[in-house]
A = this chain, B = another copy of it.
Amino acid sequence: MRKRRYVYMFEEGNAGKKVLLGGKGANLAEMTRLGFPVPPGFTVSTEACREYFKGEETLHEDIKEDIRRGVQELEARTGKRLGGSVKPLLLSVRSGAYFSMPGMMDTILNLGLNDTTARALAEETGDFSFAMDCYRRFLQMYGDVVFHLEPFYFERILDETCKTYGCGKLQELPPEGWEQIIDRYKQVVAEEKEGKFPQDPIEQLFRAVEAVFASWNNPRAVVYRRLNKIPDDLGTAVNIQSMVFGNLGKESGTGVAFTRNPSTGEKELYGEFLFNAQGEDVVAGARTPLPIDSLWEKMPVVYEQLVRTCEKLEEHYGDMQDVEFTVEKGTLYLLQTRAGKRTAGAAVKIAVELVQEGKCSREEALMRVESSQLVQLLHKRIEPNAYLHALARGLPASPGAASGKTVFDANKAEQMALEGEKVVLVRAETTPDDIHGIVASQGVLTSRGGMTSHAAVVARGMGKPCVSGCEAARIMAAEGWFQLEEEIIYEGEIITLDGTTGYVYRGEAPLIYPELSPEFQTLLCWADELRVLGVRANADTPADARKAKDFGAEGIGLCRTEHMFMETDRLPVVQEMILSDTEKERQQSLEKLLPMQQGDFEQILGEMQGLPTTIRLLDPPLHEFLPNLEELMVEIALMEEQKGDPELLAVKKSLLNKIRALNEFNPMLGHRGCRLGLVFPEIYRMQVRAICLAVISLGKRGIEVEPEIMIPLVGHFRELQLIREIVEDEINGVKQDADTEFNYTIGTMIELPRACITAGEIANYADFFSFGTNDLTQTVFGFSRDDAEGKFLPHYVQQKILPENPFMVLDREGVGWLMSQAVSSGRSGKPGLKMGICGEHGGDPGSIDFCQQLGLDYVSCSPFRVPIARLAAAQAVLKERGAEEGAGSQV
């Protein structure tokens, strides 16, 4: 009757079935198929999860029936029986979605234990304590996951019972102690929750599967998906697997192995092992595990087997693997394999080396490095010559350096970050509940946990510096301070972390940006060969221009001139110019500014050595260069009160009047951009003259420059038409005066909705377009970025009113739609009109992908994002090819 199947034995799946079986299930199936030692089991599909959420959030009968059948098959395969009084079958129940969400959803181990089977387990293993420990662990996990009981209830019972029997360790408890624990555990469940703990193992299993499904929507999973842009409607699969025990004595244990070093990318087996422990103990970070070498020392045969297995897995998948395994009395079992998370540095090194080893293609390698993750490689480090006194050292868990105010609480970290503070989160260990705090912090310091602890994994994923397991740290969060070796640091005091070395310093350290590694250079060369989009940088200073060139920028897409006006030696002259009463006075001030501007342009253009450079004429409203209105008002009020010098007072008042006259209600929509150039053409003329003189002067030094002059904030073609006339008139004047020739182009920012709509007309007067998506996003949404990001935008993203912050990820539907209008109408009359983007989106991989689709000529981003843009542009080409080849079939 029904067509759907909800349960697949591992033998039935393979790595290609991730949508149906989740990543973990598909890989367990793949390993089973390839003959690796995987404990037998089956997967309840993601479809079952979606059914679960469609219905009343209980398993419907078809699913239960399939699970029962799966259990029967497992019993047949293992010769054990669920709930059996001899050879009882015990199960692990683990989540596994399409995208890995480590630690976000729930897991239950040792399922199948009840009063009967626990006793059978004790007999079978001959270890009563072990069996009872398994039982009480199961009860606690089940209580936590199914009944949402705090671990605290159970831990208290453990402590009390140990005290009663005068035991330091659980292992020393007499049998009656264990029985008391189990009784009281069951009582907790019965008291706190209406339903008693179900003794029927199949009932246990159904409720466990339901609980794992439900955990798909727990708050931390929801936050994780939002952060990682994972769709909410995928659902998770559940993997049900025969238990193996890492806690069956010294010959047992559990571990995690990476086929290459996930921090550095070095080709070496890397990982950790915890003897006599169950799987979850490693990830939780509660016990600090040993390096993987310890396994080699104690169980060399198992170690060798592990090494060979890891090699085969990497060979098979063509990528670095993260393998979870358990050793039960000297026998190796694989519990999971997946592409290993890695730092960006490692990702680059591994990708390049895998190509060199012939294990994957260049294209695969390029697609495998997540371009947004590269931010890590461009992360700051501490200036090598800085004189610093290290307070302590922990594990170098996530590279990069960061400074910030000490804070002990995730909520507070978020709050302070919203207020614009840089913070460093300091905690004993982090849990998935702390994610928002890590997001908000510059870096994380923990006193416990290893390189694969929660804090370390999450921080690496986010590219934030992390020092973990810094045992010298004694954190007194409630008292508002912590101790590092001998020193006390209060909440709010600044510390610096170096996640590359593990050192922690007091105060703020000077930070610098790193060089690119040779592997990185190689990868970017491959990217350059593939990509179609040009990559330029936004640079306003010679230093930025140099950095941009070092990082491979092919030109400057946006050189803002306002920062030049802000420099301390200029500002007084600029203010004098703005406050001029007559055009003649203004002209005099502008003449003083001319040689300074010429010098600016000569330096930047000289640095770029003839690479294309787009110089934008003055954009901000003039009042931005004047003293603060409010402060001046207060100053005048006080002077009046104190009967200060009347002459000075008069000067101040006249200044106040002028500032008032220039003041605006909405400066973003005010008298700025080309509107300035039209009302005060003499300002633009001065800037154009400075550009021309710089070009001529560089020409004499043998540097040929063809400046691109960009007019901001055009909304109507007449604006550009008139300014173009002014600019060309000035250029012709300079050419005539100097009796020389040079080429130039004049273009415009497309940063207003009206510019997009009338791009066809504007194109008649433009040699190029540059999309200013920052301002365009502001006007399309009606969002003032200055206000929105501090006020309602966080709420909007949190409540999923908007999928993303549109200032970070380009809004394709609104802003993007207008851009595509502008591209097509701009080019309809002028085919091949050069177009680029110089908003911040130019450095965002997703937005770069969109720019490729739009057919732009180049993206321009901050110098430090140039390598990211180079890679993202190559990936955009590969995605386009993939789409053309109908990549839909790959999922």
Considering the chains assembled together, what is the distance between the CA atoms of A522 and B801 in angstroms?
Answer: 52
Q: State whether A718 and B752 are in contact (beta carbons under 8 Å apart), knowing that A775-B782, A783-B669, A786-B666 are contacts in the complex.
A: no
A780 lies within 8 A of chain B by Cβ: yes
Kindly provide the distance from the CB of A224 to the nearest chain B CB, expressed in whole angstroms: 21
Q: A630-B630, A757-B780 are in contact. List 7 more A-B contacts (CB 8 A).
A: A669-B669, A671-B787, A678-B799, A716-B781, A751-B782, A752-B782, A753-B818
A196 lies within 8 A of chain B by Cβ: no
Q: Nearest chain-B residue to A719 (Cβ)?
A: B801
Chain B residues whose C-beta falls within 8 Å of the C-beta of A791 in the assembled complex: 664, 670-671, 679
* Interface positions of A from 634 to 687, Cβ below 8 Å from B: 634, 637-638, 641-642, 664-671, 675, 678-679
Q: Nearest chain-B residue to A670 (Cβ)?
A: B787
- Sample of 14 A–B contacts (CB below 8 Å): A630-B633, A638-B638, A665-B666, A665-B784, A666-B784, A667-B787, A670-B784, A670-B787, A670-B788, A671-B792, A675-B796, A719-B801, A722-B801, A751-B782
Considering the chains assembled together, what is the distance between the CA atoms of A665 and B778 in angstroms?
Answer: 13
Kindly provide the distance from the CB of A819 to the nearest chain B CB, expressed in whole angstroms: 11
A739 lies within 8 A of chain B by Cβ: no
Q: Nearest chain-B residue to A718 (Cβ)?
A: B801
Considering the chains assembled together, what is the distance between the CA atoms of A670 and B668 in angstroms?
Answer: 11
A800 lies within 8 A of chain B by Cβ: yes
Considering the chains assembled together, what is the distance between the CA atoms of A801 and B681 in angstroms?
Answer: 14
Contact A792 B678 (CB under 8 A): yes
Considering the chains assembled together, what is the distance between the CA atoms of A758 and B678 in angstroms?
Answer: 34
Q: Quick one: which of B641, B665, B751, B802 contacts A642, CB cutoff 8 A?
A: B641
Contact B666 A792 (CB under 8 A): no
Q: Nearest chain-B residue to A795 (Cβ)?
A: B679
Kindly provide the distance from the CB of A839 to the nearest chain B CB, expressed in whole angstroms: 15
Across the A-B interface, give the 7 residue pairs with the lowest CB-CB distance, nearest first: A669-B784, A666-B784, A754-B814, A753-B753, A665-B786, A670-B787, A634-B637
Q: Quick one: which of B634, B667, B786 contacts A634, CB cutoff 8 A?
A: B634
Q: Nearest chain-B residue to A814 (Cβ)?
A: B754
Q: State whether A754 and B782 are in contact (beta carbons under 8 Å apart), knowing that A637-B637, A642-B641, A719-B801 are contacts in the complex.
A: yes
Chain B residues whose C-beta falls within 8 Å of the C-beta of A722 in the assembled complex: 799, 801
* Interface positions of A from 766 to 802, Cβ below 8 Å from B: 775, 778-784, 786-788, 791-792, 795-796, 799-802
Chain B residues whose C-beta falls within 8 Å of the C-beta of A633 in the assembled complex: 630, 633-634
A737 lies within 8 A of chain B by Cβ: no
Q: Quick one: which of B641, B671, B796 contacts A638, CB cutoff 8 A?
A: B641
A715 lies within 8 A of chain B by Cβ: yes
A629 lies within 8 A of chain B by Cβ: yes
A617 lies within 8 A of chain B by Cβ: no
Q: State whether A758 and B813 are in contact (beta carbons under 8 Å apart), knowing that A787-B670, A795-B678 are contacts in the complex.
A: yes
Kindly provide the distance from the CB of A860 to the nearest chain B CB, expressed in whole angstroms: 21
A817 lies within 8 A of chain B by Cβ: yes
Considering the chains assembled together, what is the distance between the CA atoms of A782 and B779 in angstroms?
Answer: 7
Contact B713 A782 (CB under 8 A): yes
The count of identical subunits is 2
> B-contacting residues of A (Cβ < 8 Å)?
629-630, 633-634, 637-638, 641-642, 664-671, 675, 678-679, 713, 715-716, 718-719, 722, 751-754, 757-758, 775, 778-784, 786-788, 791-792, 795-796, 799-802, 811, 813-815, 817-818
Chain B residues whose C-beta falls within 8 Å of the C-beta of A675 in the assembled complex: 792, 796
Contact B664 A784 (CB under 8 A): yes
For A758, A782, A788, A795, the residue with the greatest tally of chain B CB atoms inside 10 Å of its CB is: A782
Contact B795 A781 (CB under 8 A): no
Considering the chains assembled together, what is the distance between the CA atoms of A121 and B780 in angstroms?
Answer: 74
Q: State whether A780 and B754 are in contact (beta carbons under 8 Å apart), knowing that A638-B638, A664-B787, A795-B678 are contacts in the complex.
A: yes
Chain B residues whose C-beta falls within 8 Å of the C-beta of A784 in the assembled complex: 664-670
Contact A754 B775 (CB under 8 A): no
Chain B residues whose C-beta falls within 8 Å of the C-beta of A754 in the assembled complex: 780-782, 811, 814-815
Chain B residues whose C-beta falls within 8 Å of the C-beta of A783 in the assembled complex: 669
Considering the chains assembled together, what is the distance between the CA atoms of A811 and B778 in angstroms?
Answer: 20
Q: Nearest chain-B residue to A800 (Cβ)?
A: B718
Q: State whether A782 and B671 are in contact (beta carbons under 8 Å apart), knowing that A637-B638, A818-B753 are contacts in the complex.
A: no
Q: Quick one: which of B634, B669, B715, B796 contacts A678, CB cutoff 8 A?
A: B796
Considering the chains assembled together, what is the distance between the CA atoms of A799 and B754 in angstroms?
Answer: 20
Q: State whether A802 and B716 are in contact (beta carbons under 8 Å apart), knowing that A779-B780, A781-B754 are contacts in the complex.
A: yes
Kindly provide the distance from the CB of A476 to the nearest chain B CB, expressed in whole angstroms: 29
Kindly provide the distance from the CB of A735 to the nearest chain B CB, expressed in whole angstroms: 27
Considering the chains assembled together, what is the distance between the CA atoms of A796 and B675 in angstroms?
Answer: 9
Q: Nearest chain-B residue to A664 (Cβ)?
A: B787
Q: Nearest chain-B residue to A815 (Cβ)?
A: B754
Kindly provide the distance from the CB of A25 to the nearest chain B CB, expressed in whole angstroms: 33
Considering the chains assembled together, what is the distance between the CA atoms of A713 and B799 in angstroms?
Answer: 18
For A719, A784, A787, the residue with the greatest tally of chain B CB atoms inside 10 Å of its CB is: A787
Contact A757 B787 (CB under 8 A): no
Chain B residues whose C-beta falls within 8 Å of the C-beta of A667 in the assembled complex: 665-666, 784, 787
Q: Nearest chain-B residue to A782 (Cβ)?
A: B752
Q: Quick one: which of B637, B679, B796, B818 contacts A757, CB cutoff 8 A?
A: B818
Considering the chains assembled together, what is the distance between the CA atoms of A783 and B802 in angstroms?
Answer: 25
Chain B residues whose C-beta falls within 8 Å of the C-beta of A713 in the assembled complex: 782
Contact A787 B678 (CB under 8 A): no
Contact A780 B792 (CB under 8 A): no
Contact B665 A668 (CB under 8 A): yes
Kindly provide the distance from the CB of A528 to the nearest chain B CB, expressed in whole angstroms: 35
Q: State whether A678 and B801 are in contact (beta carbons under 8 Å apart), knowing that A642-B641, A666-B786, A669-B784 are contacts in the complex.
A: yes
Chain B residues whose C-beta falls within 8 Å of the C-beta of A671 in the assembled complex: 787-788, 791-792
Chain B residues whose C-beta falls within 8 Å of the C-beta of A630 in the assembled complex: 629-630, 633
Considering the chains assembled together, what is the distance between the CA atoms of A775 and B783 in angstroms?
Answer: 12
Kindly provide the distance from the CB of A652 to the nearest chain B CB, expressed in whole angstroms: 13
Kindly provide the distance from the CB of A815 to the nearest chain B CB, expressed in whole angstroms: 8
Chain B residues whose C-beta falls within 8 Å of the C-beta of A792 in the assembled complex: 671, 675, 678-679
Kindly provide the distance from the CB of A658 to the nearest chain B CB, expressed in whole angstroms: 14
Q: State whether A778 and B679 are in contact (beta carbons under 8 Å apart), knowing that A641-B638, A787-B664, A814-B715 are contacts in the complex.
A: no
Considering the chains assembled together, what is the distance between the CA atoms of A753 and B780 in angstroms?
Answer: 5
